[in-house]
Structure 1
Amino acid sequence: MVRKTSVMKVYKDQYAEYKRRHDELWPEMETMLKDHGVSEYSIFLLEETGQLFAYLHVEDEEVYKQVSDTDICRKWWAYMEPLMETNEDNSPVSTDLEEVFYLK
């Protein structure tokens, strides 16, 4: 199991909508993530800055990398684009974090 973490940013006036859209995650998006080896996925918000901390477990990092090539992921990115900082392809501006401590 691989633990992955990243930081993204949601616009401060979009917190409620960001949460609502994730509370109503499309079933086909959930299925696609699970089909690509995601077993756990959490996103946390730091309200003061709009930073999002994403934490997920994946079975195989190479399989997980294929998520961004799926139609449903690209549709989700377009849906979320008005709420957060994004790249030209609508993917979230995201910075992977390096693990420096883990207590099991």
Structure 2
Amino acid sequence: MARVCFTVQVDPARLAEYRQRHDPVWPEMLREIEASGRRNYSLFLRDDGLLIGYYETDSDEASAAYLARSEVAARWEASMQEFFVGLDRRADEAATVVPEVFNLKQQLGAL
């Protein structure tokens, strides 16, 4: 299982509107995320606009490929593009992956 953490920058002047767009996310987009194989998906947003995302999946490559082919995901990403700073492509493709350096369960299992 892959555990993926990523960051992207949201325009700090548009945080309230960004939060509103996620409450709720389109039902068809929720189903596409699930169908892509992503689980335990969460987004966290700091007051300075730093967005931190986390999800688990069996294959991040397969999940990303599924969403890249999805018409629903393309519409969602296009509708959200205006909120991100300094991106020249879809946020889900341009996000910076953060390497994992510690995992409690993994280290406890090694004891």
Q: Does 1:51 align with 2:50?
A: yes
1:13 maps to 13
In structure 1, how many angstroms separate the alpha carbons of the residues matched to 2:61 and 2:82?
29
In structure 2, how many angstroms separate the alpha carbons of the residues matched to 1:25 and 1:16?
15
- Point out where structure 1 has 5 or more consecutive residues left out of the alignment: none
Tell me which protein shows more helix as a share of its residues: 2
- Point out where structure 2 has 5 or more consecutive residues left out of the alignment: 106-111
How many correspondences in the alignment?
102
RMSD, matched Cα = 1.4
Runs of 4+ with >3 A deviation: 86-89
In structure 2, how many angstroms separate the alpha carbons of the residues matched to 1:87 and 1:70?
20
Q: Does 1:22 align with 2:46?
A: no
TM value normalised by structure 2: 0.83
Task: Give aligned-pair identity as a percent.
Answer: 30
Higher CA-based Rg: 2
In structure 2, how many angstroms separate the alpha carbons of the residues matched to 1:88 and 1:95?
13
